[in-house]
């Protein structure tokens, strides 16, 4: 112990101690200031507002601020092409010079999607499927078919459109639907309250024939008599073309 104490009092120890202390301080200062330079400590800038700008203007703004950028695009039918709709980091955030700002903007080119199979789907089902694919219904055309409101065909630009064909999002298609009636069937007309001549005219227009005519009650004026019942009645929704309709009239 006495030798250690004696050594601590020597000039050699003091020189070595000062040297080690100096090297330690220099190393600390080197690391401290070196890291500040390496990480650009305190060198932060505010991210400018580019959301809402056109993409060209947004890029120029970021370049002027010394920032990098990365681009991504989405397609939205009702928005102006080239418009920046998202930025990350958000505006007014403080970042290092050279930081990459991620931008999302509206592209002008509509992406294509395979047209879904909606044949034999109901109108409600087909509408939901098309909406999920960002497609729209331009018109509906009904043709004679016992399948009511069921998709029989699809047309695009006047031409048949098959499932699987690529079509731009936002495109409008025409659906061909069944009207619930066969090719030789028509809707049953409601003749109640009509005169005989009016009923005969309505039946002719519907492709039906006049069957038996019966009067009930006291008939003072047959021309003024009105239809009070028909057979088949209106509970029958469709009927074959040419079928006879039997009428009962009364004043």
Fold agreement (44-106, 187-250): yes
The residue ranges of every structural domain in the chain are: 2-38, 44-106, 112-178, 187-250
Q: In this structure, are residues 66 and 98 in contact, taking their beta carbons and an 8 Å threshold?
A: yes
| Run of H or E residues at 28 | helix 11-38
DSSP 110: P
pLDDT of residue 247: 96
Q: Are strands 244-250 and 209-215 parallel, antiparallel or unpaired?
A: parallel
Summarize pLDDT for 190-213 with one digit per residue, the tens: 999 999 999 999 998 888 999 999
Per the prediction, the chain carries an average pLDDT of 87
Q: What CATH fold (topology level) applies to the domain 112-178?
A: Trypsin Inhibitor V; Chain A (3.30.10)
The domain 44-106 having CATH identifier 3.30.10.20: the answer here is yes
pLDDT tier for residue 79 given thresholds of 50, 70 and 90: confident
Rounded CA-CA distance 151/133 in Å is: 17
Summarize pLDDT for 43-71 with one digit per residue, the tens: 688 999 999 999 999 999 999 999 999 99
How would you label 59-79 residue by residue, b for 16+ Cβ within 10 Å and e otherwise? Answer: bebbeebebebeeebebeeee
Rounded CA-CA distance 231/214 in Å is: 11
Among 112, 111, 121, which residue's Cα sits nearest to residue 175? 121
- Asked whether the predicted pLDDT for residue 113 surpasses 70, the reply is yes
* Rounded alpha-carbon distances, angstroms, from residue 233 to 42, 48, 181: 89, 75, 17
Which CATH number is 187-250 given?
Answer: 3.30.10.20
Residue 84 is encoded by which pair of tokens?
Answer: 């920046």
């Amino acid at each position: 112990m006495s030798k250690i104490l004696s050594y601590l009092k020597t000039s050699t120890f003091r020189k070595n101690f000062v040297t080690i202390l100096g090297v330690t301080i220099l190393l600390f200062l080197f690391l401290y200031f070196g890291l500040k330079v390496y990480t650009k400590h305190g060198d932060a800038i505010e991210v400018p507002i580019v959301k809402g700008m056109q993409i060209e203007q947004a890029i120029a703004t970021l370049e002027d601020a010394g920032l990098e950028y990365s681009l991504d695009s989405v397609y939205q039918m009702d928005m102006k092409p080239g418009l920046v709709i998202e930025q990350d980091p958000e505006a007014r955030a403080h970042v290092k010079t050279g930081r990459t700002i991620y931008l999302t903007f509206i592209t002008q080119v509509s992406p294509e999607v395979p047209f879904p199979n909606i044949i034999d789907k109901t109108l409600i089902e087909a509408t939901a499927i098309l909406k999920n694919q960002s497609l729209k219904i331009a018109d509906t055309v009904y043709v004679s078919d016992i399948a009511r409101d069921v998709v029989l065909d699809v047309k695009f630009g006047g031409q048949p459109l098959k499932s699987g064909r690529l079509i731009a999002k936002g495109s409008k298609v025409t659906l061909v639907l069944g009207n619930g009636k066969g090719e030789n069937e028509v809707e049953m007309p409601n003749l109640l309250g009509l005169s005989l001549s009016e009923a005969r005219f309505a039946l002719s227009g519907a492709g039906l024939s006049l069957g038996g005519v019966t009067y009930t009650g006291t008939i003072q004026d047959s021309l003024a008599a009105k239809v009070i019942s028909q057979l088949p009645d209106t509970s029958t929704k469709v009927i074959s073309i040419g079928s006879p309709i039997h009428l009962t009239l009364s004043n």
